[in-house]
Amino acid sequence: MNLLILLFFPLVGSIAVLLNKNYAKQTALISSIITLGFAVTMLCNFLPEAGKQFVVDLPWIPQLGISFKAGIDGISMLMVLLTTGLVPLIILSGFQRTFKNPSALFALVLFMQSGLLVVFTASDAFLFYVGWEASLIPIYFIAAIWGGADRIKVTMKFFIYTFAGSLFMLLGIIYLHLQTPGNTYDIEAFYALSLDSATQGWLFWCFFIAFAVKMPVFPFHTWQPNTYAESPTIGTMLLAAIMLKMGIYGVIRWLIPVVPIGFLQWKELALILCIIGIVYASIIAFKQKDIKRLIAYSSIAHVGLIAAGVFTWNVQGVQGAMIQMINHGINVLGLFFVADIIIDRLKTREIASMGGIAKIAPKLSIAFLIILLGAVALPLTNGFIGEFLLLLGVYKFNIWAAGIAGLTIIFAAVYLLRLYKDVMQGTLNDLTASFKDIKGSEVVLLSIVCALVIIIGVYPQPVLHISESAVTELIGQVNSKLAF
């Protein structure tokens, strides 16, 4: 029952937002905080070593073998905390912005939150697919209605990529459903299937394409930079901080355990694509003159390292991916919010037009520096432990792959610190001379983000402990199938 409340309360909140248009932002924020409260309550009663908990298993469409089955283990719990923890911050980021029809915007945000929570908790493949598609619809409208000048063309490309990828996954789900005894969509029945290597090979690509588009992994990434740049910042935060984690989660939960032999056949190629994405996106980031596009390419590079850690399929790599999904969400939300503040005040995204802001906006400059240091994985910031574990996992898999993947840290330090220098340091110009420092909700949001960067960096163990048992068990389960 607790899980049902968690999954459906955001939908109740979205209806309340639509009915209370004069206080849409406030109603949405209160709803998201209540949802976070439910998640924290579940965390307090969660036992990391106990497997799936808070299980819901209700008949949904029994004639087709479909159940509303969901539960939370350590892997799901981190994703639930990420989703419920960041959505209030994303809503708060819009408090000092003016939107046309804000009630519709914030209702879509809450609707999307519900879909994301379904994805991260579903134990039925049909339910997982419903949540997957339900989270796509709101972000499409958010980008298409509230985005920039090229929003229609950009969002159409995003929709085509993600929808096409989803169709491949649906094909794989239906095939697996027909192979199970009793024709069920239950994840455990999928895990128990013994499919030949050729079948697992093509099923691997059905799921991989869908997940690679969402992450995104090279060469399925081309929708991302333009979509991030043209979406309103609320939409960009939803995409970068939470939604792309659906792909990584899908690989961990649904791809590798369901088709382990297919994974064994293609993991080297998948890892190579991830590493190519790291280097490619980093090189393109060097050349960016647009602050949002630079952060977008930075996100591709960092997610490439997270995905590489997953495909090593060892405890260090997957645990690194789990904590780095949390850290990346926090850091990229902070970076895009800082970019939004600067763009809103200066009315430009061109880095060359900026400079000297630290002289008259010290609070913003300090917050920006803390978040940026987390993004470049400085020791004692949140990014360090995640990237350390990821590189250790890749190193255990292949030393040369680790050497190339490690370039993401070096490259990120160069282009992000250069971004800070160009935006915050130097001399004031006619455009930046009247820049106003952060205030009100901006201070609150950036203070929370900076606190998380430091707290997780100094003491990451509680986060790692939540997922450790579930990760170890799942890796052992897959490895036992491959021991032949």
In whole angstroms, what is the distance from residue 118 CA to residue 249 CA?
A: 12
Q: Which of 259, 35, 242 is nearest to 125 (CA)?
A: 259
Residue 337: which residues within 8 A CB-CB, separation 6 or more?
A: 93, 233, 237, 442, 445, 446, 449
Q: CB burial class (10 A; 0-12, 13-18, 19+) of residue 11? A: middle
Residues near 151 by beta carbon (within 8 Å), at least 6 away in sequence: 143, 144, 145, 230, 231
Helix (H, G, I), strand (E, B) or coil at 399: helix
Q: Tell me which residue of 288, 289, 299, 363 sits closest to 330, measured CA to CA.
A: 299
| H or E, element range at 297 | helix 291-312
CA atoms within 13 A on the CB side of 136: 23
By percentage, how much of the chain surpasses pLDDT 90? 48
Percent of the chain at pLDDT exceeding 70: 99
Which range marks the domain in which residue 273 is found? 2-482
Peptide bond into 219 cis (omega under 30): yes
Burial grade of 12 (CB within 10 A; 0-12, 13-18, 19 or more): middle
Contact 388, 258 (CB under 8 A): no
Q: How far is CA 115 from the centre of its chain?
A: 14
- What is the domain count for the chain? 1
- Predicted confidence at residue 483, as pLDDT, reads 67
How many alpha carbons lie under 13 Å from residue 347 in its C-beta half-sphere? Answer: 3
Distances (CA, A) of 454 to 71, 226, 259, 379, 382: 31, 31, 38, 10, 6
Closest C-alpha to 386, from 374, 403, 397: 374
Task: Spell out the per-residue pLDDT of the chain, length 484, in tens.
Answer: 688 999 999 999 999 999 888 888 999 999 999 999 999 999 999 988 868 899 898 888 888 888 899 999 999 999 999 999 999 999 998 888 888 888 999 999 999 999 999 999 999 999 999 999 998 888 888 888 887 767 777 777 877 888 888 899 999 999 999 988 888 899 999 998 888 889 999 999 999 999 988 877 878 777 777 777 778 888 889 988 898 899 999 999 999 999 999 999 888 898 888 888 888 888 888 888 888 889 888 888 888 889 999 999 899 999 999 999 999 999 999 999 999 999 988 888 888 888 889 889 899 999 999 999 999 888 999 989 998 999 899 898 888 888 888 877 788 888 899 999 999 888 888 888 888 988 988 999 999 999 999 999 999 999 999 999 999 999 998 888 876 5
pLDDT of residue 1: 61
Q: Give the pLDDT of residue 214.
A: 82
Global pTM reads 0.91
